[in-house]
Structure 1
Amino acid sequence: MASHCKTRQFHGGAPRSLILGRRDWLLLAACIVGLLVAWLVYGAIGPDDGRSLAGSAGTGIPTASAPAIPATPASGPAQSRPAQSGPASFGDALAVPPATGRPAGAPRAAPGPVASAPQRISYPAAGMDVVVHPLQPDADSQSIVPPETMDGYWLSTFGSPGAGSTNTTYIIGHSWEGLDAPFNHLSSAAAPGDRFAVTTATGVVEYTVDSVATYRKSTLKDSSVWTAVPNRIVLISCYTEDLWGVNLVVTASPAAGK
């Protein structure tokens, strides 16, 4: 369908549409400033490529060699979106308050076995008992994608559990849609105060959960989760109520007297 417009003919003097008053100039200046700010912000943070997929424990994880650089989002095993909707709001903050009042970044001593590679996690309160394998982040793509299994994967370029640890230990694993996978249980059962054990090559280290938190995958890479804290351990998986958009993070420290 064609459209028809009338062109108004102006007689005498310049057309009103070409005369900018003081208010027009102020509005134009505000628009230009807004575009400049948006361009600067875009240049600083880059676009969100929107490639986060369900079941990916590693989305938004930086590499150990360059922790300030965000990773490329990684895809996971689930093939369809979950039916549930996510919580009303998320941020780079705890969804569940820490169980203790210990200041962040103040590690607890870790007596016992010398720091070494983790081999198994036993978390009775969450019904979780899984084998742990070493996994080295891809230095080229800066992405961390655990194999599509129900096991746990230790990020070997970060810390190790045990005495003498100099960094945070990270263990990640997939949550699966429609399956009773061990890492799914973290979303429904993990809570501050829980205790779990990590078997290593040199012995067993017991931990107490300090906090359980949810993070949008787009913010996890820039969160304090990646602060180096000796003797701390962090478990990361996808949040089962929003596998596509949210990660669940369980943070723990060596149990007192262990």
Structure 2
Amino acid sequence: MRQAPDALMLFAAGLGTRMGALSASRPKPLVEVAGRPLLDHALMQADAAGIGRIVINLHYLPEQIRAHLADRSDLLFSDETETVLETGGGLKNALPVLGPGPVFTLNTDAVWTGANPLGELRAAWDPASMDALLLLVPKDSAIGHVGAGDFDLSRHGRLTRGRAFVYTGAQILNPAGLAAIEETAFSLNVLWDRMLAEGRLFGIVHQGHWCDVGRPESIALAETLIREGGNV
């Protein structure tokens, strides 16, 4: 079983309803920011981190994503075309493709500057004490994010539910606990809450900037971040 993760789940199956007309005829991961689809921004982070196995889940307009990635024979897909499985159900469905052991997961609706998010997680991962390690940004620094924060962070890195930090969509997670969840479609919050109760949910703060590109108005914010940050 892997202890140092070398497999990544890219979440690309969402309907993208918050994008409005921009996702009416294309999946949100193909919405462009600075001339490049969001999915490509995520893949740049994965490639730079040297991830050995990359799995992308598909639901909405999956043929467009497959066509866009036709020249990437190294990528694998997890089919969710019949039903939306949410993040937890989607990850559970993809486990046969991802293989055993801890995995990275990364949302495809963000852009980053600064340190490679997957590299940061890899460097801090401690499977002896952690079942999941989430990458966070302070609520006041969460560009494009709408709503409250997600977690508070102790000085030892252990998480509790709170408002000070926002989850960026990047993590390392031990998926073993998914087997005990009977539902087919469910959020990863279900698994996180079990880890919280056992004191095994941890977080670190991203050394750089992050923009949540979940809404049309966030595209301009993300493009400004890229111009000024220069590392995405």
If the length of structure 1 is used for normalisation, what is the TM-score?
A: 0.23
- State which structure, 1 or 2, has the greater radius of gyration over its C-alpha atoms: 1
If the length of structure 2 is used for normalisation, what is the TM-score?
A: 0.25
